[in-house]
A and B are shown apart, each in its own frame.
Chain A
């Protein structure tokens, strides 16, 4: 007998917290608002931990139906929750990292206005994110999917009086709509052909189907459409443009939504739908190519950015590219492992960056930082741990996950040495721009004005952390940093001896059985020479470590030892440097290709053409016509009694004439 876990409580708790703060938070004191938000979020985390302890004794996958929702004909979708190894990991990451960032926010937002609004949105986000990872069918997942988009929009535009923040929110929402469109079509296809959206039902129906190796078919279309959705939510080429702009939001939001959790929803969705993807090799290749290209592309943009949060944003896109690369070579557990370690170290990087920004009074430009190592030692050391982790230096967390992905990209049946090579180059670039950030921020001389933060425009809300001088952040902000730093160091160790992969194996195992005989023979062939494979793996591991160290050395050389060199190199690579600095002009390209036609088309065709000339004209002209006719007819109604009597008499006479005419006819 399986115990009732009451999984619905986990998302419900943050929802209650968010509702309390949203409805009555305005009247609460700052402490009360924080207490409500932390209590409900912490309770969700505690419950998730309790579930994790119950987990070994569970019969998985565990399903729990809360209420029936849509029941039309043979189609039904329930409010139901689904717990297996994959959702358990997501659950722990979301509630754990989410709770830490809630704590951090108490310190970070301490001097902001509208803090009740902030925490209400943040709790709302937790609710939707948990719905997304716990839903037992695609429809419940889609509620969460849309909901996190809404929360993201609200939080990016948190400082809504700032024009750039408001439009960044809109951009994020609209770009995501493009992806959601693909996701929805995929859901419609699933309903049409399988009559259900329930994971269990769907996957047990798809499982016996054979892979679509010859050409493309239904599963390939569904997989590709799902990938369109994932591209939007997880900021992959070509829909990544919203994520860098999303940095307009408060830094804890960037850490929680735009680094650790929401943007990984696409990876989770692809991993969850692995049964479909496994049977659509063409779609898998597309996923791998998109992921690989995004990883490299975003990493190169990251080199030239000067805003500390923008660097991290492009780094996030690049790391998400790694995760898709892993999914694209059917190494889902490697992708999920990287998702988890990335949540730790990228969350930490953002929080530490927030702490830096907080320390120097709202400045985000790295060219105005420097020499902060001794001023804010806690931030420095935690950020160092995160930087080492993301650069793939052993034994930090990022090393294990990234190395696993690269090895799988090379050795998997769907893999290729091209993915691996681009992955290694990206790893080098990643290490380079991360250490560039690290050197620029913490080493050398302080380049900002000491009292500069007083003179900032009050419109820049982050500037309102106005204390005097550079100062370390309060303990409430440092505690989450330390916890995440520890996790960034040791988080990768759970993959030792494939523990992590074996843990997730029950979820992902199902796909392997359907490999074609050709692929199966290949797979056995690659596993037979064990010693050789081990040697190759060690060699590749060595190369990736070397790549990480090379990135560090380059950054050290350029930004610490010879700080004048970057200028010269930038001059030497004039055109290319310009292109990278301007993010390859992608935003401008999209503006020309999509935004301008839509705006012009709307203005000229829809507004001036249809709205003014057709709709308005119809209404105006019918009113005008009615008035002109009335102008003529109104003379009948003179108000003169005798003229009315005359009309009556004339009418009567007409009737008589008519009768007479009938009579004599």
Chain B
């Protein structure tokens, strides 16, 4: 059996990668992927704890997070397409006006 700490370290690494990517990337799609990475890092820690303590609520949480992430992906991608159509760029630094 893989010890809990391994899962948690991997989860931390995934989350840190997500944060770093979010901070340094300029492309909206890359930022989006970084967010997914952070979510999945958190998911991993949830299921690890759930397995460790034999509690199902952690697993249920993960389903919730996945559902929300899916919804977010649908809306987010739609927004990205819309932004690209009007601005012809995916660089967030150039999407700094509220007016589309």
Contact = CB atoms under 8 A, between A and B. Distances in A.
B23 A646 contact: yes
A649 interface: yes
Nearest to B25: A642
Contacts of A649: 19, 23
A639 interface: yes
A642 B96 contact: no
B88 interface: no
Contacts of A641: 92
B23 to A, nearest CB: 6
B96 A645 contact: no
A640 interface: yes
Contacts of A642: 22-24, 92
Interface string B87-98: 000001100100
Contacts of B96: 639-640
B interface, over-half SS: helix
A469 B23 CA distance: 100
A256 B76 CA distance: 88
Contacts of A645: 22-23
Contacts, number: 13
A640 B23 contact: no
Contact of A640 (B19, B22, B24, B93): B93
B91 to A, nearest CB: 11
Interface in A288-335: none
B50 to A, nearest CB: 22
Contacts of A640: 93, 96
A640 B92 CA distance: 9
Interface string A630-648: 0000000001111001100
Interface residues of A, number: 7
B96 to A, nearest CB: 6
A660 to B, nearest CB: 13
A645 B20 CA distance: 10
A639 B19 CA distance: 19
B5 to A, nearest CB: 16
A642 B22 CA distance: 7
Nearest to B97: A639
Nearest to A646: B23
Interface string B52-68: 00000000000000000
Contacts of B24: 642
B47 to A, nearest CB: 22
Nearest to A641: B92
Interface string B2-32: 0000000000000000010011100000000
A645 B96 CA distance: 15
A179 to B, nearest CB: 67
Nearest to B34: A645
A646 B24 CA distance: 10
Nearest to A638: B96
A61 B96 CA distance: 88
Nearest to A640: B93
B63 to A, nearest CB: 25
Interface in A622-665: 639-642, 645-646, 649
Contacts of B23: 642, 645-646, 649
A640 B96 CA distance: 8
A642 B93 CA distance: 9
A657 to B, nearest CB: 15
Nearest to A643: B23
A391 B28 CA distance: 107
A92 B19 CA distance: 98
B35 to A, nearest CB: 10
A649 B21 CA distance: 12
A452 B44 CA distance: 111
A646 B25 CA distance: 12
Contacts of B22: 642, 645
A475 B22 CA distance: 102
A212 to B, nearest CB: 83
Nearest to B16: A649
A655 to B, nearest CB: 14
Nearest to A653: B19
A40 B95 CA distance: 79
Nearest to B20: A649
Contacts of B19: 649
Contacts of A646: 23
Contacts of B92: 641-642
Nearest to B26: A642
A336 B24 CA distance: 100
Nearest to A639: B96
B16 to A, nearest CB: 10
A470 B98 CA distance: 84
A649 B19 CA distance: 8
A469 B92 CA distance: 94
13 contacts: A639-B96, A640-B93, A640-B96, A641-B92, A642-B22, A642-B23, A642-B24, A642-B92, A645-B22, A645-B23, A646-B23, A649-B19, A649-B23
Interface of B: 19, 22-24, 92-93, 96
Given A639-B96, A642-B22, A649-B19, 10 more contacts: A640-B93, A640-B96, A641-B92, A642-B23, A642-B24, A642-B92, A645-B22, A645-B23, A646-B23, A649-B23
Q: Which 7 A-B pairs have the closest CB atoms?
A: A649-B19, A641-B92, A642-B23, A646-B23, A645-B22, A645-B23, A639-B96
